[in-house]
Structure 1
Amino acid sequence: MIVTSPIAPGDSLSRREKLVYILLLGALTALGPFTIDLYLPAFPALEESFDVSAAAIQLTLTGTTVGFGLGQLLVGPFSDKVGRRLPLILATAVHIGSSLGAALATDIGMLSLFRVLMGIGAAGGGVVAMAMVRDLFHGYSMVRMFSRMSLVNGLAPILAPVIGSQLLLAFPWPGIFFFLAAYGLLVILASIFFIRETLPAEQRGKSTVTVRQRYKTVLTDRIFVGMVLVGSLNFGGLFAYLSASTFLFQNVYGFSPQEYGILFGINSLGIVAGVQISSRLIRRVAPQWIVAGATAFMLFIALLIVVLDLFHVGLWGILIPLWFYICATGFMFPCVQVLSLANHGAQAGTAASLLGASQFMMAGIVPPVVGWLGVSSAVPMGAVMAVCITGAIAALWLVVRPRSVPSIH
């Protein structure tokens, strides 16, 4: 299948203007991953500082992801009503204030509260950037823009743990949150001086369509609902890794925070590789079939991790299949985005917010489950991955039904 694209507003942009949008929108979406990943190397330090269990620290990750999901539900419809820039600036201001609050937290309760607020604030960048791409591009042009943005925001999960581990060498853990506040300030400045409004003026403030009607439009679309389920369960499997890996590799296998940061960066290259390969493959293979292949492969790999660990194959028996699992999650991302947003240009912010919120709600559920199962081996992590991806396979074939998905135009 060859994907064609109609004329879209973004098609008239020069190469230089497109490059500016790729860099800026990629940096906006990177705020979320930085907010989540930057403090992962500090988990053991936080555990010691507050004298709490590993599960309690994992709950701060849950709070962040839940906040991220709630924030997207607020920012998305608001951006469909008033435009993209104002919600982005307001949400990022919340992120800056809560980052400073987290840096000054004196107990785990305060930290958890400010982590929720940080998630709400960080939601602005991700949902607005996705909606802006949908405002400007259609069809394969939209796929190409998402993939190029991923080259920028894909650096976040690679660099964040490395930066976080290096910050821990120079500062105690609050330095990580001061860094995040500074990043948020840069996002606001970029929004004010470099990003123009992409939602047409006639669609801002004058629409008689209510938030409820926008939600009804997207939630009655079977393909959208199915892809939301697929995307959220894919995210759940990824967060099983994120929440378990810092304890598994540092506490069980004796990695230092710096070694863990390097390992995390190498694994994150798998996501970048998967996104780029998938984005090019979409030109000739329908995205729903890429998802079908990726989910089957991921289920095999997740079960392989469990089996190899049960037979005590050792560290490499976890690291190698884990990298390929993470790479396969990257294959999923552009396909889920395109299939979810393709038919909802008029409700781009609402659709993007529901997609993002569902993913981070699932990401909020998974870490406590992994913490409850324990992280003394890779078996709980692999088992949760397998359960999540089995659910994604069921949603794809029972709800989306790949053969019924129309071509992208």
Structure 2
Amino acid sequence: MSSTTTAPSAASLASAPRLVLALSTLMAFGAMSTDMYLPAMPALQASLQASPARIQQTLSLFLVGFALAQLVWGPLGDRYGRRRPIMAGVALFMAGSIGCALATSAEAMLGWRLLQAVGACAGPVLARAMVRDLYGRERAAQILSVLMLVMGVAPLVAPIIGGQLLVFFSWRSIFWVLLGFGALAFLAAWSLQETLPADRRAPLGFRNLVFGYLGLLGDRRFLGYALTGGCFYGGIYTYLAGSPFAYIEFHQVPPEAYGFLFAVNICGMMGLNMVNSRLVPRLGTDRLFRIGLLLGAVSGVALALSARFGWLGLFGLAAPLFVYVSMLGFIVANSVAGALAAYPRKAGQASALLGTLHYGLGGLFSALLGLLADGTPGPMGLLIGALGVSGLIAGLLVGSGK
């Protein structure tokens, strides 16, 4: 498919560095909303007098809300354009951040985290759709890799910021900082030009939504890309839910040092995104995608074994996690570009279903980890290993097409 643009203003938009920065900011909502408060989970548990499983639910419920609400924001973006729905979603996120900062019980925190999630997901789902508005498949994979490289700063610095805020302030300060991030994202969305012209917008109706989603689910290649990405997102969010307790409580890593250990994995992901953006024109998206699936499965199995038997202590946990997280650089951009390539006229809806499967599986398996938690890294390693292998198997649905 050609990489020519599909909107009248695409050329000017594509050449603007602020487009990359703005879209990266919008795509960073998931990372900022989850990673910054990870070091504070033990503090939340003590302050709100809740169990570790209850506090882990603040992550899993966020992911469920983040996943399901995309099914609404995507079609809204196809009907009304990208900018206005994004700004509405950011406003909801900001309201939820205020509620989290003022929460006095685990139940209140769960409710406000859900509102945060409903608003936050508008940014990533419609940012992906904007990339599809502007680019064809191979170029979209390159641009998505660049966006993930830039937005990689969010999961890189978010847990470090969270850990340092805990040193000087309480866990509530983290959500006030997220409120400020929401304000910046609102300004970023306001500064963008619309990428979906009025004559390309899709009608909005229940029948159109249902048959549109059924059609996407019936597309074997779309489903293959979506499920493989979903399996690896499930592994990543299992890691996010389990690593604070595995590192801080089991291996006695100081909370302020957790963010730096976390950052090493993000550097690996950013590095492979850079490599991916360079290799896509030569090797193609599907070949790099399959390499990522294979190495991700191998590292997941290695993690499951080391976590179960305690091989090499902290290093035995951290090393395979580094490889697993890094493989997202080959998996995510290429799978998203492949999934959206055939749907230029309903990119919002396709992006929504893709995101729902990604974050839905993330929420499901992070919640399952809460049920399996036994005070050791074993359940986390087992789930990540199983999801790595499942992602490799689901990749067979994609077939051998370019």
2:199 matched residue in structure 1: 202
C-alpha distance in 2, partners of 1:14/1:86?
Answer: 17
* 1:60-113 per-position Cα deviation (integer Å, ceiling 9, x unaligned): 100110111122111001100111111101111110111101111111001001
**Count of residue correspondences:** 399
Tell me if the contact between 2:145 and 2:329 (Cα under 8 Å) persists in the aligned partners.
Answer: no
Tell me if the contact between 2:301 and 2:388 (Cα under 8 Å) persists in the aligned partners.
Answer: no
- Alignment match of 2:102 (pick from 83, 104, 124): 104
Shift of the 206–332 alpha-carbon distance from structure 1 to 2, 3 Å rule, reads closer
2:300 matched residue in structure 1: 302
* 1:4 shift after superposition: 6.1
2:346 matched residue in structure 1: 347
* 1:246 shift after superposition: 0.5
* 1:351-387 per-position Cα deviation (integer Å, ceiling 9, x unaligned): 1111111111111111222222225333222211111
1:167 matched residue in structure 2: 165
- Residue 326 of structure 2 corresponds to residue 317 of structure 1: no
- Alignment match of 1:130 (pick from 120, 125, 128): 128
1:232 matched residue in structure 2: 230
Shift of the 105–181 alpha-carbon distance from structure 1 to 2, 3 Å rule, reads same
| Matched residue SS, 2:3 | coil
| Matched residue SS, 1:198 | coil
Tell me if the contact between 1:275 and 1:333 (Cα under 8 Å) persists in the aligned partners.
Answer: no
- Residue 39 of structure 2 corresponds to residue 41 of structure 1: yes
1:379 matched residue in structure 2: 378
Aligned-residue identity in percent: 33
* 1:323-348 per-position Cα deviation (integer Å, ceiling 9, x unaligned): 11111122111111111111111010
Tell me if the contact between 1:232 and 1:360 (Cα under 8 Å) persists in the aligned partners.
Answer: yes
Q: TM-score, structure 1 length as denominator?
A: 0.92
C-alpha distance in 2, partners of 1:80/1:12?
Answer: 21
C-alpha distance in 1, partners of 2:286/2:139?
Answer: 18
User: After the TM superposition, which of the residue ranges 282-291 and 220-229 deviates more from structure 2?
Assistant: 282-291
Shift of the 375–163 alpha-carbon distance from structure 1 to 2, 3 Å rule, reads farther
Shift of the 14–95 alpha-carbon distance from structure 1 to 2, 3 Å rule, reads closer
C-alpha distance in 1, partners of 2:202/2:139?
Answer: 28
Tell me if the contact between 1:305 and 1:378 (Cα under 8 Å) persists in the aligned partners.
Answer: no
Aligned amino acid, residue 183 of structure 2:
L
* 1:189 shift after superposition: 2.1
C-alpha distance in 1, partners of 2:237/2:340?
Answer: 23
C-alpha distance in 1, partners of 2:247/2:234?
Answer: 20
Tell me if the contact between 1:98 and 1:115 (Cα under 8 Å) persists in the aligned partners.
Answer: yes
C-alpha distance in 1, partners of 2:23/2:359?
Answer: 20
Gaps of at least 5 residues in structure 2 are: none
* 1:254 shift after superposition: 1.1
Shift of the 336–128 alpha-carbon distance from structure 1 to 2, 3 Å rule, reads same
Aligned amino acid, residue 191 of structure 1:
A
* 1:14 shift after superposition: 7.1
Aligned amino acid, residue 83 of structure 2:
R
* 1:171 shift after superposition: 1.7
C-alpha distance in 1, partners of 2:203/2:67?
Answer: 27
User: After the TM superposition, which of the residue ranges 162-171 and 4-13 deviates more from structure 2?
Assistant: 4-13
1:245 matched residue in structure 2: 243
| Matched residue SS, 2:288 | helix
- Alignment match of 1:62 (pick from 40, 60, 63): 60
| Matched residue SS, 1:282 | helix
1:254 matched residue in structure 2: 252
Runs of 4+ in 1 over 4 A off after TM superposition: 7-11, 205-209
* 1:150 shift after superposition: 1.3
Gaps of at least 5 residues in structure 1 are: none
Shift of the 164–206 alpha-carbon distance from structure 1 to 2, 3 Å rule, reads same
Aligned amino acid, residue 223 of structure 1:
R
- Residue 188 of structure 2 corresponds to residue 190 of structure 1: yes
Aligned amino acid, residue 339 of structure 2:
S
* 1:278 shift after superposition: 2.3
Shift of the 145–18 alpha-carbon distance from structure 1 to 2, 3 Å rule, reads farther
| Matched residue SS, 2:238 | helix
1:363 matched residue in structure 2: 362
Tell me if the contact between 1:69 and 1:357 (Cα under 8 Å) persists in the aligned partners.
Answer: yes
* 1:212 shift after superposition: 2.8
Tell me if the contact between 2:237 and 2:362 (Cα under 8 Å) persists in the aligned partners.
Answer: yes
Aligned 1:320-339 pairs, distance under 5 A = 320-339=319-338
- Residue 91 of structure 2 corresponds to residue 93 of structure 1: yes
Aligned amino acid, residue 111 of structure 2:
L
